[in-house]
A and B are shown apart, each in its own frame.
Chain A
Amino acid sequence: MIEISHVNKWYSPTFQVLTDCTTSVTKGEVVVVCGPSGSGKSTLIKCVNALEPFQEGDISVDGTKVNDPKTDLPKLRSRVGMVFQHFELFPHLKIIDNLCLAQQKVLGRSSDKAVAKGMQLLDRVGLKEQAQKFPAQLSGGQQQRVAIARALAMDPIVMLFDEPTSALDPEMVSEVLDVMVDLAHEGMTMMVVTHEMGFARKVANRVIFMDRGEIVEDAAKEDFFGKPRSDRAQKFLSKILSH
């Protein structure tokens, strides 16, 4: 589904953020990307739907090359759902309109169809009653669930999550993770940048560990948590799992 091969990215000629990153996500797979902050994991996931450009290498999604200038990026992105750390709901639009905007303007769905789909997804994330409110009236956890519903409204073939729980108060983390676990169980293809190792243990098929722009470890979940091969991954795990 997602093929990432030998991706290199520089912010400036002397500052390389991604170094020779190669990995893939197959259909139905849940891949968790973790690593210390500044390791390039968010940058890598943003390269997948071309929100960040990269200078070398190739990324393709469902056979379409992301870095090909001829690629119709809006069309490709409309099939790739993305959830951001800071939710990024549109504050000037009601919740239901947040869900309908792209359905109508990108997919060309009628207003009735878009609203029906939107309400169905809001119901699914438990926020049907909030449809007529504005984003600022919702808690962080609720906003992030709306953001997930907004991405799902486009019927994506794959979902990208960029630290979806990092900006949340601790008591709101689980309500968001619950939605993501459900999604994983339904067979959604997911690439998730997160520090939530509990989530990784529960639903991930594979775990990628990044450090200083490199993919240091790319292993099945059991292998990663059982016995990480690299020192750096071992150190990282012992630090975040020690409490």
Chain B
Amino acid sequence: MFGNLDFDVIRRALPYLFFEGMTFTVTLTTLAGLGGLIFGTAIALMRLSGFKVLGRIAGIYVDFMRSLPLVLVIFWFYFLVPYIGQWVTGASRPISVGAFASSLITFIMFEAAYFSEIMRAGIQSISRGQPAAANALGLTYAQTMRYVVLPQAFRNMLPVLLTQTIVLFQDTSLVYVLSIPDFLGAASKVAQRDGRLVEMYLFAAVVYFTISCVASFGVRRLQARIAIIR
């Protein structure tokens, strides 16, 4: 089976794989990570706000998102959003949402649920004396969160947030169900076209493995550095 492998097919596909595929994957990971962090923080603040209704809504959202397989959410969201958009705007035809926009929104919504749990743990790790001191100085709730609590929570949770982002980086490969040429999608296309499935999927695996491994190593070193500073 491995006797007649042609690894030159990889070399020839490299520009396409990286300039198109990997660029898409990295862009999606970065934007979804940032968006997920922002919305996740908002959800965490809702859950900790003390307003019961807000907390319940946020809790239900998180439980809902975490109870669904990501690939199903991607799939359904892509086919449902045009109709939801039509219903909201009252347009006569389904709104056309590009595959990129659709997958980005899906990942932000999905990651927000996970990031919110991380940020919630981070906020709860700050001693109650910190917001009390900020309040005593006259800072409002929003200022206390913005300048005192969230920066510390973010710093404490940075290694966990980055680890979750590595998982996100791998999860973005699931957009293949929408036939989007992310890195895996691009590799898959070349594989099908040239009939070189083994080579291309092997190569894709090696690339994902290498990037994730190096990133994990970086996170561990960062963690050690943060530990020393404190």
Q: Is chain B a partner of chain A in the same complex?
A: yes
Report if A77-B133 is in contact (Cβ < 8 Å); known contacts: A105-B143, A105-B147: no
A138 to B56: give the CA distance in the assembly, Å.
42
CA distance A82 to B133 in the complex (A): 8
How does the 8 Å CB contact mask read for B131-158 relative to A, with 1 for contact and 0 for none?
0111111111001000110011001000
B124 an interface residue at 8 Å Cβ cutoff?
no
How many Å from the CB of A88 to the closest CB on chain B? Answer: 4
A26 CB to closest chain B CB (Å) equals 22
Q: Please determine whether A105 and B139 come into contact, CB atoms closer than 8 angstroms.
A: yes
Given A74-B140, A101-B147, A154-B138, is A92 in contact with B152 using a C-beta cutoff of 8 Å? yes
CA–CA, A105 and B190, complex, Å: 56
Interface size on A, residues (CB 8 A): 27
Q: B136–A80 contact, CB under 8 A?
A: yes
Q: Are B129 and A77 in contact (CB under 8 A)?
A: no
Minimum Cβ distance to chain B for residue A50 (Å): 9
Q: Does chain A have a CB within 8 A of B96? A: no
A77 is contacted by which of B130, B138, B151, B230 (Cβ under 8 Å)? B138
Taking chain B's interface residues, is the majority helix, strand, or loop, or is none over half, making it mixed? helix
User: For the complex, what is the distance from the CA of A226 to the CA of B133, rounded to whole Å?
Assistant: 37
A150 at the interface (CB under 8 A from B): yes
A74 contact from B139, B151, B230, Cβ within 8 A: B139
Whether A49 is near chain B, meaning CB under 8 Å from some CB there, is: yes
Which of B133, B138, B151, B230 lies in contact with A88, CB distance below 8 A?
A: B133
The chain B residue sitting closest to A76, CB to CB, is B138
CB 8 Å contact bits of A83-108 with B (1 = contact, 0 = none): 01010111110000000011001110
- Quick check: is A116 within 8 A (CB to CB) of the other chain? no
Assess whether A75 is interfacial by the CB under 8 Å rule.
Answer: yes
Partner of A90, one of B143, B148, B229: B148
A136 pairs with B133, CB closer than 8 A: no
Q: Which residues does chain A contribute within 8 Å of B137, judged by CB atoms?
A: 77-78, 101-102, 106, 150-151, 154
* Inter-chain contact A86/B139, CB cutoff 8 Å: no
Say yes or no: B136 contacts A49, CB within 8 Å: yes
Q: Which residues of B are found within 8 Å of A220, using beta-carbon distances?
A: none
- Which chain B residues numbered 36 to 64 have a C-beta less than 8 Å away from chain A? none
Taking CB atoms, residues of chain A closer than 8 Å to B155 are 92
Q: Which residues of B180-230 have CB atoms within 8 Å of chain A's CB atoms?
A: 229-230
User: In the complex, are the beta carbons of A77 and B136 less than 8 A apart?
Assistant: yes
Residues of B within 8 A of A154 (CB): 137-138
| Chain B residues positioned under 8 Å from A102 (CB to CB) | 134, 137-139
Chain B residues, Cβ within 8 Å of A105: 139, 143, 147
- Assembled-state Cα–Cα distance A105/B134 (Å): 11
- Asked, given contacts A88-B130, A90-B130, A105-B143, whether A82 binds B138 with beta carbons under 8 Å apart, the answer is no
Residues of B within 8 A of A81 (CB): 136
A82 to B137, CA, bound (A): 8
User: Whole-angstrom distance between the alpha carbons of A78 and B138 in the complex?
Assistant: 4
B135 near A77: Cβ-Cβ < 8 Å: yes
| CB closest residue in chain A, given B152 | A92
Instruction: List which A66-81 residues lie within 8 A (CB) of chain B.
Output: 73-75, 77-81
The distance in angstroms between the C-alpha atoms of A27 and B203, with both chains bound, is: 78
With A92-B155, A105-B147 in contact, do A86 and B129 touch (Cβ < 8 Å)?
yes
* Residue in B130, B137, B140 with the greatest tally of chain A CB atoms within 10 Å: B137
- Distance in Å from the Cβ of B148 to the closest Cβ of chain A? 6
Cα A154 to Cα B147 with chains together (Å): 17
B151: min CB distance to chain A, Å: 5
A90 / chain B contacts, CB cutoff of 8 Å: 130, 133-134, 148, 152
Chain A residues within 8 Å of B, Cβ to Cβ: 49, 51, 73-75, 77-82, 84, 86, 88-92, 101-102, 105-107, 136, 150-151, 154
3 A-B pairs closest in CB distance:
A78-B138, A88-B133, A102-B137
Chain B residues within CB distance 8 Å of chain A: 127, 129-130, 132-140, 143, 147-148, 151-152, 155, 229-230
Beyond A73-B135, A101-B147: 6 further Cβ-contacts under 8 Å?
A: A74-B135, A74-B138, A78-B138, A82-B133, A92-B152, A101-B137
